[in-house]
């Protein structure tokens, strides 16, 4: 039979495009005297059913594939901020994701395709170097900056820069996938890093003549006068391969001697200390040249002041932006001070304190030391190596009990093969007595 129109006295209610937690309901029509009440009950029931179930773990509601890209990006950046990661880290993620948004437009997550990802990857070459530091570009949108970049002759994009963009894209989409298992990352199989294993590295280790220039006793003593962190920071960086941020945050309780082996424990034991990742937790034997240069004497002098921080004159650097405080760590000041120092001694721009870490690893490699053994000292992760052979946080529990595990002695044997080709300056007991007596200048 053909459809018949309802009688004029029959009530009809229709609702269209009802937004729910996980999507949009197209259309519902109800006829009858109580149509309006029925519609109201149906809407209440659907909304109640679509709410995320409460969990004892307090899990956040899953990301909906119908969410638009700009909202998902803002939520992702907000989560990074909540994790208390560094400001630079957040700004770089915002830049990568902002470029993607400018290239493919604001669309729902579910509609982002592999071709969108490809277009984004191809666009990174048009982003001018340090664009946000150029006064004329500071207030421009991502799209406007890309338009300017497209009118210029783009230089070949640095492989490391490209790979960093790829990592950020993958991290963003993987997070969305973790939040909603019905969503599949459009970057899978597409956003791959460039293999740089055979690329020529621009970073070179310091030569013996470079080190002699840095540690020339007269200039070095003058630069580090009344500032213990300047004296010991570069020396520790040279002989441990540790990051300056790890050295700057050390406490006297991180220095141990067990069974005749003195070591520095890289760990987090209090507020303000931070590590890059799990592999960063490690124990580094103190090289004999540092012991001969009276490093432990300095440690005892700091302990005598009642201060726990090994370098109490270094402040905890914090950046405040848009009402949020971002902790930079204790190392920022020392990095800046050392950078200015070596520039005055003729070193080119781009060479800083991190070059000690590169020098340390390169010299050990020349001595035929395996990557896994070097990583145990530097806190790197070796791809394809058993995790327990690299990450050795278990050493710390032995050290806390006053025991020296065989792994620590193996690390000491590895370290004994490192020789940078110079004799380092020796610390004079009491050299920083004046600085250590000014407790008002100490930072927590």
- How buried is 133 (Cβ within 10 angstroms: 0-12 exposed, 13-18 middle, 19+ buried)? exposed
Residue 194 in any domain: the answer is no
CA-to-CA distance for 167 and 39, rounded, in angstroms?
48
Residue 164 in any domain: the answer is yes
pLDDT for the residue 1: 44
pLDDT for the residue 424: 95
Residue 293 in any domain: the answer is yes
Residue 5 in any domain: the answer is no
pLDDT for the residue 130: 86
Domain residue limits at 25? 12-50
Residue 275 in any domain: the answer is yes
pLDDT for the residue 145: 93
Q: Are residues 223 and 333 in the same domain?
A: yes
Q: Are residues 338 and 275 in the same domain?
A: yes
Q: Are residues 274 and 324 in the same domain?
A: yes
Q: Are residues 40 and 80 in the same domain?
A: no
Quote the DSSP letter at residue 225: T
Residues with pLDDT less than 70, the chain: 1-11, 15-28, 30, 32-66, 197-203, 322, 382-403
Q: How far is CA 70 from the centre of its chain?
A: 23
pLDDT for the residue 30: 66
What is the domain count for the chain?
3
pLDDT for the residue 379: 83
pLDDT for the residue 87: 86
Q: Are residues 251 and 348 in the same domain?
A: yes
Q: Are residues 313 and 375 in the same domain?
A: yes
pLDDT for the residue 56: 43
pLDDT for the residue 389: 46
Residue 18 in any domain: the answer is yes
Q: Are residues 163 and 280 in the same domain?
A: no
| H/E element, 91 | helix 87-104
CB 52 within 8 A of CB 61: yes
CA angle 21, 24, 28 (to 5 degrees): 120
Q: Are residues 147 and 277 in the same domain?
A: no
Q: Are residues 435 and 315 in the same domain?
A: yes
CB atoms closer than 10 angstroms to residue 344: 9
pLDDT for the residue 269: 82
Q: Are residues 241 and 382 in the same domain?
A: yes
CATH of the domain at 322: 1.10.443
Residue 73 in any domain: the answer is yes
Q: Are residues 232 and 354 in the same domain?
A: yes
Task: Please count the helices (runs of H) and the strands (runs of E) in the chain.
Answer: 18, 7
Q: Are residues 244 and 274 in the same domain?
A: yes
């Amino acid at each position: 039979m053909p459809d018949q129109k309802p009688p004029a006295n029959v009530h009809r209610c229709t609702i269209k495009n009802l937004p729910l937690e996980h999507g949009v309901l197209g259309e519902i029509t109800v006829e009858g005297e109580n149509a309006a009440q029925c519609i109201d009950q149906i809407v209440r029931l659907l909304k109640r059913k679509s709410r995320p179930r409460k969990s004892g773990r307090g899990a956040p509601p899953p990301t909906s594939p119908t969410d638009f890209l700009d909202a998902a990006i803002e939520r992702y950046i907000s989560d990074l901020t909540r994790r208390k990661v560094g400001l630079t880290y957040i700004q770089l993620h915002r830049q990568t994701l902002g470029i993607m948004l400018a290239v493919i437009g604001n669309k729902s997550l579910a509609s982002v395709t592999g071709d969108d990802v490809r277009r984004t990857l191809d666009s990174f070459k048009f982003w001018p170097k340090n664009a946000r530091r150029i006064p004329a570009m500071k207030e421009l949108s991502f799209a406007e900056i890309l338009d300017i970049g497209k009118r210029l002759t783009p230089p070949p994009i640095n492989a490391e820069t490209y790979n960093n963009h790829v990592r950020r894209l993958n991290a963003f989409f993987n997070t969305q996938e973790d939040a909603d298992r019905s969503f599949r990352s459009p970057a899978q199989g597409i956003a791959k890093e460039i293999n740089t294993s055979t690329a020529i590295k621009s970073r070179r280790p310091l030569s013996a003549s470079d080190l002699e220039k840095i540690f020339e006793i007269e200039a070095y003593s003058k630069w580090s006068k009344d500032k213990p962190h300047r004296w010991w920071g570069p020396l520790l960086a040279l002989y441990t391969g540790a990051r300056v941020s790890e050295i700057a945050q050390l406490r006297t309780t991180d220095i141990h001697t067990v069974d005749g082996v003195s070591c520095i424990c890289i760990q987090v034991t209090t507020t303000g200390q931070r590590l890059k990742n799990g592999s960063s937790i490690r124990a580094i034997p103190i090289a004999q040249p540092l012991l001969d240069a009276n490093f432990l004497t300095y440690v005892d002098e700091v302990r005598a002041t009642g201060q726990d921080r090994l370098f109490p004159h270094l402040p905890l650097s914090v950046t405040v932006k848009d009402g949020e405080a971002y902790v930079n760590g204790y190392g920022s000041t020392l990095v800046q001070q050392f950078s200015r120092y070596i520039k005055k001694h003729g070193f080119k721009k781009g060479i800083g304190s991190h070059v000690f870490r590169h020098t340390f690893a390169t010299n050990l490699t020349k001595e035929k030391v395996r990557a896994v053994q070097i990583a145990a000292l530097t806190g790197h992760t070796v791809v394809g190596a058993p995790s327990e052979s690299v990450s050795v946080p278990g050493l710390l529990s032995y050290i806390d009990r006053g025991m020296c595990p065989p792994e620590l002695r193996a690390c000491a044997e590895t370290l004994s093969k490192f020789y940078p080709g110079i004799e380092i300056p020796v610390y004079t007991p009491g050299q920083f007595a004046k600085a250590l007596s000014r407790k008002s200048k100490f930072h927590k």
